[in-house]
Amino acid sequence: MVTREDVESFFLRMGLDTEEVGEGMWVVRSVPGGAGLVVHHSPPVLVFRLKVLEVPKDESRCAGLYRRLLEYNATDLLHAAYGLEQGDVILTESLELENLDFNEFQATVDSFQLAVAAHMESLAEYENC
């Protein structure tokens, strides 16, 4: 099983700028866009979460946003998914620690970076509404 120390070594191997904000919880600052990528070692899983944007205050705009997020979940994301949490749109993924290796960890971080780069332009129209 991947330990907290293993996760820290994964960060170092990738050259990621991280800050440990709690026991087994880090914020990765080198992911473009929004707040940092939060990585939480919470056995038996490693959880990745990224705040993408706030849900629009204008509820009439929410239907279009929700449709777009569901389309991305169905077509552009392999394991991660967009969701809603406390008024924010988040991107999240969980990996089992039992057989996690560096390549899977790196692929997850890379997929978050790719999703932000590919989707933020179209999602930006829903910000600050």
Report phi then psi at 113, rounded to 5. Answer: -65, -40
Give the pLDDT confidence score for residue 61 in this predicted structure: 84
Give the pLDDT confidence score for residue 60 in this predicted structure: 86
In the chain the domains, ranked by start, together with CATH numbers, are 4-126 (3.30.1460.10)
Give the pLDDT confidence score for residue 57 in this predicted structure: 87
Measured on CA atoms in the order 36, 123, 76, 45, is the torsion positive or negative?
Answer: positive
Give the pLDDT confidence score for residue 19 in this predicted structure: 94
Walking along the chain (129 residues) 10 residues at a time, the average pLDDT comes out as 97 95 92 76 97 90 94 95 96 98 96 92 83
Give the pLDDT confidence score for residue 7 in this predicted structure: 98
Give the pLDDT confidence score for residue 11 in this predicted structure: 97
